[in-house]
Structure 1
Amino acid sequence: MKVRTTVTAATAAVLCLTAVACGPDEGDGGSRGGDRASASRTPAPEKPRDAPKTPQTTAPAPTGDGRTLTEAELADVALTTGELADYEVTPMQGDDERGTERSEDAACRPLAGIINGSPEPAPAATVFRTVMDTSEEGQDDQTVVTEILTSHPQGGAEQLLRSVRDAVKACADGFRTTSDDGPSTYTEVEELPAPAAGQEALAYQVTGSLEGDEVPLVFHLVRTGSTVVTFYAADFLGGTAPQVPAALVTAQAAKLP
């Protein structure tokens, strides 16, 4: 059975809770944990994805007042169930954990930080949410999106996007990390068209591996003022670059102060 998950993982450990397997590995058959039962099943032909059920709307011009939001304020601006048709929003399980991946190349350290759910510079507050497309419930390719909202001291949000953007360019040929679970290899980093949301946005794909198969990981970062929302999408079994629904990005960005 082929399962396409669109998930934002705070950490490699959290990935084990929200997807069918843990993050990329060396591809030598060594396990980094997680339930791989689904991965061992015979894949079914992939069904074409339906067009988004909620039309993309243009977000109002963000004010970006520069305030560093508290955790409670971040929770207030996070999407909730009912604000976007067909999507259910819940707190993310395991959000108190962080990954431990450390890049062997200092230039790629910002990318490892995003994968860990610990962006650099460190945020002042963080809120995690999981978003599911309820209209696809029961389907093998149900869309599940997790987003991370972070607030930063003055200048920190801009620095975060700048450092990640620089790392995307510097690490185009891939990078290696080590962690408490062992080494990981990412073979390619590619910049993608940025979403039209917020005051600043960035999108990129990191290609990893899972038991020798390519695993595309897609990240969208959207900044308004001192707040950044990170969306992470991964297809662990299909090998096809996943999509973060544009309507979700737009709706979330519209709530940022």
Structure 2
Amino acid sequence: MKRSSGARLCATAAVGALSLALITGCSSDETKKDAKGSGDASSSAPASSSAPAAKALTKAELEKLLLTQGEVKGYKVASGDDTLPKSKSVVKSDKAECEPIIWASGALAPGDTDVAVSNSVTEDKASTATADPKNLADAFDINLTFVGLSSYEGDGAEKAMKAVSDGVKACAGGYTVTTKGEKTKVTKVAPAKGSGLGDESVPFTENVDLDGEGTATVNGEVVRKGNTVATFYTVNFASFSTGKVAPIPPALLQAQIAKLK
């Protein structure tokens, strides 16, 4: 049996504990607004810069803007994830221009700020797992989304969005990321159709190598509203074997952006 099957089962066992660099972390033991209406990763035009310089929120203020349990019907909200990278310093890439994408994929701030918070939102489906292995895949057909919020002084939020947009273009041919000694290869980064929410957004997809046993395509989107930037990255392990791409749940996107100031 190919290791890809073992990789998917190992990964799904950690469905509540995933980041871009951890998608293939189990494999070695058998076992990641568009311009409104544009449908690509070029961020939409930012709001006029004639307004007073923005002030960053405090971490406590930002925490209050994260989604909480009960605010999105059909989803469970968990306050953080122990296996997501705790800081940018633990995530290394062979291409510096790709780092904003990597940070956004791990629910870290894609721009230059220390004010950032995150949580995870999981589709609330009754488990269909039984002793019959034929039903095991259905039990893992669950969308898991990592959500990060970060706040910036002045034009820092706009600069963060540009860094992500530039990264999508510069990293089209892929890159390698190393976390805790584990290397993950992203073979392709491409613009995608986004939600059209916020003041501007950058949607993208990534093709992640599954330890040489095929690739998984994952959706991400970075949205700015005022001087707050929200990042979304959705994974569905069951989709890895089908080639289907799990979308970022629209209800989740809408609910989270609606809470931003």
- TM above 0.5: yes
For the 8 Å contact 1:16–1:22, the answer to whether it is kept is no
What's the counterpart of residue 185 of structure 1? 185
Letter of the 2:220 counterpart = F
What's the counterpart of residue 160 of structure 1? 160
2-structure distance, mates of 1:101, 1:221: 19
2-structure distance, mates of 1:235, 1:36: 20
For residues 189-204 of structure 1, what are the structure 2 equivalents within 5 Å? 189-204=189-204
1:86 to partner: Cα distance: 2.1
What's the counterpart of residue 23 of structure 1? 22
What's the counterpart of residue 39 of structure 2? none
> Given the superposition, is the C-alpha separation of residues 219 and 138 from structure 1 closer, same or farther in structure 2, using an over 3 Å criterion?
same
1-structure distance, mates of 2:171, 2:229: 22
What's the counterpart of residue 87 of structure 2? 98
Letter of the 1:251 counterpart = A
2-structure distance, mates of 1:67, 1:255: 18
Structure 1 residue 82 and structure 2 residue 85: aligned? no
Secondary structure of the structure 1 residue equivalent to 2:253: helix
Letter of the 1:222 counterpart = V
TM normalised by structure 1 equals 0.72
What's the counterpart of residue 249 of structure 2? 245
Structure 1 residue 256 and structure 2 residue 257: aligned? no
2-structure distance, mates of 1:171, 1:116: 17
Secondary structure of the structure 2 residue equivalent to 1:72: helix
Percent identity of paired positions between Structure 1 and Structure 2:
26
Secondary structure of the structure 1 residue equivalent to 2:98: helix
1:159-201 deviations in Å (ceiling 9; x for gaps): 1110110110111111223444143321100110121211111
Higher helix share: 2
> Given the superposition, is the C-alpha separation of residues 182 and 132 from structure 1 closer, same or farther in structure 2, using an over 3 Å criterion?
closer
1-structure distance, mates of 2:201, 2:69: 24
Consecutive unaligned residues in structure 2, runs of 5 or more? 32-46, 129-138
What's the counterpart of residue 223 of structure 2? 222
For the 8 Å contact 1:16–1:35, the answer to whether it is kept is no
> Given the superposition, is the C-alpha separation of residues 210 and 110 from structure 1 closer, same or farther in structure 2, using an over 3 Å criterion?
same
RMSD value over aligned CA atoms?
3.3
Where has structure 1 moved over 6 Å in runs of 4 or more? 34-37
1-structure distance, mates of 2:191, 2:208: 15
For the 8 Å contact 1:216–1:235, the answer to whether it is kept is no
TM normalised by structure 2 equals 0.71
What's the counterpart of residue 112 of structure 1? 102
For the 8 Å contact 2:119–2:147, the answer to whether it is kept is yes
Consecutive unaligned residues in structure 1, runs of 5 or more? 7-14, 26-31, 40-61
1-structure distance, mates of 2:196, 2:116: 23
